[in-house]
Amino acid sequence: MAFLILDHLTKRFGTHAAVDGLSLSVEKGEFVSLLGPSGCGKTTTLQLIAGFVEPTSGAIHLEGRDLLAVKPARRGLGIVFQSYALFPHMTVAENVAFGLEMQGVAAAERVRRVGETLELVGLAAFTGRFPRQMSGGQQQRVALARALVIRPQILLLDEPLSNLDAKLREEMQIELRQIQRSLGTTTILVTHDQAEAMALSDRLVVMNHGRAEQIGAPHEAYEQPATPFVASFLGKTNQVNGATVRPEKIAFAAEGLAGTVRTRIFQGSHWLYQVDTAGGLVTVIRQNTGEPMPAEGDAVHLAWAAAA
């Protein structure tokens, strides 16, 4: 039996179905991302699991027990919010220890576990600092430590990296995945960032209008999108001759689909092109190998493998 099961989970607000018959099985130790645009139901789904919102219908089971019959505080879940929600008047150590105090853990054990967890997230030297004395990335680590120190059965992450700048966000993605793998904590992430979800997840749940349009490994959803929405939401895509072709699969060739370069944009590691063709505007991504590339206004031919 799966570790966590969402069974036809539905939440309606009036006539609007925020979550519409969602079914999902999550294995122990798995990292699953709920991915989709604003209003797709991903955050409501997380709130249903946490117990902050009551479902209209459906069921949630954790290791075979009815999670809906358990009060939120007793569900054994660790939660990291977008805002971090740290207590400003508490030090780092006090913030991390708070959940253990609520569980009645003895003082000596609290000190030991807080120390271990802060070491895990790289903040062992910051125990006496207050949140206002820390950077956004450091505050994010404190929030993560506070969620992990209680040894949760499931870690719930609600857009935890969205307030960080791009470079720090990428660094924290790597750290978060390494921490999750080292602990083996079952993790569910809510995000609208496709790159983040694909970098972190064992599986994606691509949501739209309260429903899962596709559930699968990131590379499978990217390479074999189940619906036009999934194809368009997961990165850039082209509709050519009725088929979906990813921009990085298209090459400039001696023959193929004829076109004229409308736009060429240099993006460091790659070039982004827009090419006018008889089949419409086609986006092309080519790696920056240092070789000469077509210029705006050049006549080109586009080709791709049949498997693409």
- Give the integer Cα–Cα distance in Å for 163 and 142: 15
Residues in the chain: 308
- Which has the closest alpha carbon to 151: 175, 119, 184? 184
Instruction: Quote the CA–CA distance of 169 and 190 in Å, as a whole number.
Output: 15
pTM of the model: 0.85
Torsion angle of C-alpha atoms 234, 140, 81, 20, degrees rounded to 10: 20
- Output the CA–CA distances (angstroms, integers) from residue 138 to 41, 122, 135, 266, in the order listed: 29, 9, 5, 33
pLDDT in tens, the chain (308 residues): 799 999 999 999 999 999 999 999 999 999 999 999 999 999 999 999 999 999 999 999 999 999 999 999 889 899 998 887 899 999 999 999 999 998 899 999 999 999 999 999 989 999 999 999 999 889 989 999 999 999 999 999 999 888 888 888 888 888 889 999 989 999 999 999 998 999 999 999 999 999 999 999 999 999 899 998 998 899 888 877 667 889 999 999 999 999 999 999 998 999 999 999 998 999 999 999 988 999 999 999 999 998 88
CATH superfamily of 4-229: P-loop containing nucleotide triphosphate hydrolases (3.40.50.300)
Domain extents in the chain = 4-229, 237-303
Sheet with 154-158, edge to edge strand ranges: 77-80, 154-158, 186-191, 31-35, 203-208, 211-216
Q: What is the CATH number of domain 237-303?
A: 2.40.50.140
